[in-house]
Amino acid sequence: MVHDSTDNPDDRARKLPPAAASDTPPDLDPATTGGDDEDDARLPDILEESGAVGEGPLASGHEAIEHAVRLAPTSPGVYRMLNANADVLYVGKAKNVKKRLSNYARQNAPQPARILRMIAATVTVEIVSTNTETEALLLEANLIKQLRPRFNVQLRDDKSFPYILITGDHWAPQILKHRGAQSRPGRYFGPFASAGAVNRTITALQRAFLIRSCTDSFFESRTRPCLLYQIRRCAGPCTREIDFGGYTTLVREASDFLSGKSHAVKQELAGEMEKAAGELEFERAALYRDRLAALSAIQSQQGINPRTVEEADVFAIHQEGGFFCVEVFFFRTGQNWGNRAYFPRAEKTFTPEEVLGSFLAQFYDDKPPPKVILLSHEIEESELLANALAIKAGHKVEVTAPKRGEKKELVIHALTNAREALGRKLADTATQSRLLDAMAATLSLPHSPKRIEVYDNSHIQGTNAVGAMIVAGPDGFVKNQYRKFNIKSEGITPGDDFAMMREVLERRFKRLINPPEEGAVKAKDDDFPQWPDLVIIDGGRGQLNAVREIFANLGLTQVSLMSVAKGPDRDAGRETLFMPEREAIKLEPRDPVLYFIQRLRDEAHRFVIGSHRKLRKKDIREAGLQEIPGIGPSRKRALLHHFGTLKEIERASIADLGKVPGVSAESARRIFEYFHPQPG
């Protein structure tokens, strides 16, 4: 348990006062500096103004750290270096905090440029004592993820991993995808690298073991088997098409397969298939054959499956062009459950070993570690990390960089993927950078945009109106910045696109101008800007002028604005671009900038249509079939009797709807159009 060594229990850290003349100039604040090259170019100036006369930001930083050394404990702990704005610059841990800080305080000792920049910006040091160095490591990783300090290695794209859950709180267990806290009773299998991998595996498992995927409420309301039973993806326990014992056997087989007993399960199914064929029950034999094929499909999709590695995570890091990529492979129960590439933020002066060590501590801050962790590089504190992860997991954890055998082959395979992923990332980034530069030149923007926001609306005759914002930057689409707006104003005339856009933009920019609380609008993706350089809307000169008026009322003068009007007959490649106080712009159909603008517009349209459909489907499910015009009670009963559920009616084609007794071709068309409208 982490404890504070200060006398005041309410103060979680020992805060040390800054040295006398320690105000950090804005051009040295990491929050406002440019890249590493710019900082390195200024380093001689920093040293000259500081070292020669014993004054300046570097000297002030040394003075602040020296003051911290005098009060620092000799026990394990975590220290934080802060600048004049109280922003955390760096989080570190040490077995002996006093000794570690003393290294920073030595003015004549050679230090990398990164460390000198950090010292020059430091005005305050905070310290938290811990019982052990292991606790310090865990606390350090947690604080780095929470505070995102400028001079630490930062794990980005830290989304939770999906699991497969076979529930344990119902007599007929359900199989489903699960994220988040594992609080529901049942067995969890994972992690999987992506939701797509989980969905594919669940679909194959349904074919192989016929386990239900429906919710408990849907299960309890059934009076006849659903479509999944008809297509042999469920055993139909809801209507007792299979008894309790038979369904329990299916669940056991699925659990055994996911637990690594795949060979035994396949042997058992093969034996049942041969038995059924020997008894001339060919239909039952065909069912076992299909189940075996589904299991083989799962394993073929998984690619490499190790023979001697039961449970392990494999990490490989590749460095190129000042960037890093960490490729992670997940192996559970001897099966490959996918891989994911990470691109941690780290200054180019870090070594791959340093980046990998910091990455691992942050990666497992909120994830259960496996029994074995295989690395492409030896890290300095592998034993300390193994001990810390063992405390979290409750079992022994081995952290090693293998030298030979199958484990080494797995690492080499991961390293190849890391190299290829970073190559693709660098190529995409370079292409995106060129496109942004070309866009700035074509549109006469003051500089290459760092953040582009694109807005669009969707509705059907004014109902279920929703607006959406997508965001793009130097690294492409920034999806954790996307936002949807359910239109709330009651006075809006149905279909009034101008009024809907006004509401969306006012809600968006009023939140930026007057944030509800400190830090409420800070970007999740490091220091990605929150204010856009360019706003793009769908429409012509009229929409542009309307948005200009909105911006004028909000006092927005520094944001560039553009509208994109569709070409004749809505043809792509013939769009017209409108900007304030400029003639309309028409680009050549094959102009890369036009392609880029089309991609931005299409992504906004995709996102808003998806948001609209989710909202509409929710309303449809809540209203049932009551709102379909011209469809009376008898036809509604016939539809439900034929398809079983509202969801299956929604999925049906016009031809399938026309097969329902009492439903004419015209009625089938109206029903289909009700569930599949064309948004406006």
The residues, ordered by sequence, that sit 6+ positions from 3 with a Cβ below 8 Å of its Cβ are 129, 130, 131
Stretch 607-615: mean pLDDT: 69
Does the pLDDT at position 21 exceed 80? no
pLDDT band for position 377 (cuts 50, 70, 90):
very high
Stretch 493-506: mean pLDDT: 75
Stretch 377-393: mean pLDDT: 88
Question: Where do we find the tokens 């694109």?
Answer: 454
Q: Tell me the per-residue pLDDT of 514-556, one tens digit each, with 9 for 90 and over.
A: 765 544 444 444 467 889 999 999 888 888 888 888 888 888 8
The yes/no answer on whether domain 14-147 falls in CATH 3.40.1440.10 is yes
618 compared with 96, residue with greater pLDDT:
96
With a pLDDT cut of 70, the percent of the chain lying above it is: 79
Stretch 504-521: mean pLDDT: 70
- Give span(s): CATH 3.30.420.340, the chain: 312-424, 452-615
pTM: 0.64
Range in 55-69, 212-226, 308-322, 359-373 the model is least confident about: 55-69
pLDDT at 519: 43
pLDDT at 493: 60
pLDDT band for position 154 (cuts 50, 70, 90):
confident
The residues, ordered by sequence, that sit 6+ positions from 435 with a Cβ below 8 Å of its Cβ are 592, 593, 596
Instruction: Give yes or no for a contact between 194 and 187, defined as CB atoms under 8 angstroms apart.
Output: no
Instruction: Give yes or no for a contact between 64 and 18, defined as CB atoms under 8 angstroms apart.
Output: yes
* Nearest-5° Cα angle at 602, 566 to 496: 60
Does the pLDDT at position 327 exceed 70? yes
Does the pLDDT at position 272 exceed 80? no
- Give span(s): CATH 1.10.150.20, the chain: 624-675
Q: What secondary structure does DSSP assign to 616-667, as a single string?
A: HHHHHHHHTTTT-TT--HHHHHHHHHHHSSHHHHHH--HHHHHTSTT--HHH
Stretch 374-381: mean pLDDT: 91
Tokens of 23: 């105000």
pLDDT at 572: 60
pLDDT band for position 111 (cuts 50, 70, 90):
confident
pLDDT at 677: 64
pLDDT at 657: 83
309 compared with 593, residue with greater pLDDT:
593
122 compared with 493, residue with greater pLDDT:
122
Residue type, 670: R
Q: Tell me the per-residue pLDDT of 557-573, one tens digit each, with 9 for 90 and over.
A: 788 999 998 866 555 66
Range in 71-80, 199-208, 324-333, 380-389 the model is least confident about: 199-208
Distance between CA atoms of residues 317 and 414, nearest Å: 8
Tokens of 655: 């031809």
Average pLDDT, the chain: 78
* Nearest-5° Cα angle at 239, 236 to 242: 50
DSSP 154: B
Is the omega angle on the peptide bond into residue 110 within 30 degrees of 0, that is, cis? no
The residues, ordered by sequence, that sit 6+ positions from 53 with a Cβ below 8 Å of its Cβ are none
Stretch 60-68: mean pLDDT: 86
Q: Tell me the per-residue pLDDT of 447-483, one tens digit each, with 9 for 90 and over.
A: 999 999 999 877 554 456 778 889 998 888 888 889 8
| Residue 233 phi, psi (nearest 5) | -120, 10
Does the pLDDT at position 375 exceed 90? yes
Q: Tell me the per-residue pLDDT of 291-305, one tens digit each, with 9 for 90 and over.
A: 777 666 655 544 556
Provide the CB-side half-sphere exposure for 34 (13 A, CA).
7
Q: Tell me the per-residue pLDDT of 235-257, one tens digit each, with 9 for 90 and over.
A: 899 998 888 988 998 898 888 87
pLDDT at 298: 58
With a pLDDT cut of 90, the percent of the chain lying above it is: 12
Does the pLDDT at position 658 exceed 70? yes
Q: What secondary structure does DSSP assign to 219-241, as a single string?
A: HHT-SS--HHHHTTS---GGGTS
Fold designation for 312-424: Nucleotidyltransferase; domain 5 (3.30.420)
Q: What is the CATH code of the structural domain delimited by 452-615? A: 3.30.420.340
Stretch 430-446: mean pLDDT: 89
Does the pLDDT at position 353 exceed 70? yes
pLDDT band for position 361 (cuts 50, 70, 90):
confident
pLDDT band for position 37 (cuts 50, 70, 90):
very low
Fold designation for 624-675: DNA polymerase; domain 1 (1.10.150)
Stretch 267-285: mean pLDDT: 75
Run of H or E including 441: helix 405-443
